[in-house]
Amino acid sequence: MLVKLFIYLAAVLPAVLAAPRYKCYNPEPTTGVPTQTVTQTTIQTTIQTTAEITTQTATPYPSPEPQTPVYLNWTTVSGYFLQDETTTDPNGFDYISTNFGLIDRAYDSDAEFDPNGEKSQWQRFAHHIGELNKNSDASTEYKVLLMARHGEGWHNAAESYYGTPAWNCYWGQLSGNGTAVWEDPHLTPAGELEAIKANDFWRKQIDEHKQPAPESFYTSPLSRCTVTANLTFANLGFDNFYPIVKEFLREGVSIRTCDHRPSKTYITNMFPFYKFEEGFAELDPLYDGVKYETSEAQDLRNFNGLTDVFTKDKNTWISFTAHSGEITSLLRVLGHRAFRLATGQAIPVLVKVVSNLPKSTTTTIAPWTTPTVCPAPPVTSIANQGCVCTATATPTTTI
């Protein structure tokens, strides 16, 4: 294992060292999260739904004036990005080589804005979105979500090395293997390169394609995301790059230590200029190493999280730095087609948000679950059934 690791580092480290470095407050690679004593937070067991998930309504948030509930309805608007199209295969799709997936097409606002055909596709799209917002009533907004998955982390490398069954049923519950640490893991050298590539992409998009820069930045509290957000957007001249750390953007909570977030103090020490949402807890309120968050519970978390952002943030161009499973859930809650992202990849989504609609009914969702794992590397794992331990290993809920 050590030989393979050294060969891997020898291959990628020269490129990392030669790449431009950015403002980033990184701790020592072997630094883990502080020892925490946590209890499982009780999760709500109802979610607002209607016939289609694209028209869900939200938990009420009081308006400043008057003090009456505001309910949201949102839908994704297709036809603008390749990722919207059913003919686009997510496997191997690269947002960098496809202009973020923006479709080369005309808009009904082009005639006035660009009569001579001199503007870029992104300039015309941005103007089109501005016109949609300007011509909508006070209860309707259009927002462009720019959702990026973090670069490769040490947990990703470990799962690739050991295989998914062994990772899910044994290794993932450990903090590391003595060589790599994957409790709240940082980026591998390859993951850093992915984030630096994203930085280069944004510089080119803004300078050459005239793509609007994000107006708001949000990130998951897990280190692989806080580091990715910084490497992606640092040194681009943004005077508004003060990311807000949001609990709801974290990965689906499992029993694996990679889902154990660091303390608020730890994040602050890494990135003193990052901000936190109101009420962000010092210690992880969700992870306990025993219970899994169900997909339904994660969707509810994201439904409430999106409601919070759409209610409080009036900007149009919004950046999320999050995780594969988390973005999968966000797309599901937004009503977008499934589009799985590889590490370092990103997806834009145009969302229409309408407020002051009737509140819908509630539906009971599945509670968190307690799976079993193996006290030693397993024989295999079976989808929807769980781990298959060796004959001498008794399944357990903790290691």
CA 316/CA 209 separation, integer angstroms = 18
Cα–Cα distance list, 139 to 49, 129, 131, 251 (Å): 20, 16, 15, 31
Q: Residue 126 is encoded by which pair of tokens?
A: 């941005």
Token pair, residue 41, equals 């937070």
Q: Tell me the residue length of the chain.
A: 399
Identify the residue whose tokens are 């295999």.
Answer: 380
Please confirm, yes or no, whether 150 is among the known catalytic residues. yes
Q: What is d(CA 175, CA 260) in angstroms, rounded to the nearest whole number?
A: 10
- Strand extents, DSSP E, 22-162: 46-48, 61-62, 69-70, 72-76, 140-149
Q: How far apart are the first and last CA of the chain?
A: 22
Whether 251 is catalytic: yes
Say if CB 75 and CB 85 are below 8 A apart. no
Q: Which of 251, 293, 296, 326 is catalytic?
A: 251
The residue whose two tokens read 């072997």 is 30
**Catalytic member of 150, 155, 186, 260:** 150
Helices (H), the chain: 2-18, 110-113, 121-134, 154-162, 164-169, 189-207, 223-233, 264-270, 295-312, 324-334
Return the number of other C-beta atoms located less than 10 Å from residue 359's C-beta: 12
Contact partners, residue 276, CB within 8 Å, separation at least 6: 244, 245, 264, 267
- Distance between CA atoms of 198 and 344, rounded to whole angstroms? 7
Distance CA 254, CA 2 (A): 28
Using CA atoms, how far apart are residues 348 and 133, in angstroms rounded to an integer? Answer: 18
Paired tokens of 23: 């403002």
Q: Please tell me the distance from the alpha carbon of residue 49 to that of residue 300, in angstroms, as a whole number.
A: 10
334 Ramachandran zone, left/alpha/beta (phi>0; psi -120 to 50) = alpha
* Residues tagged active-site: 150, 251
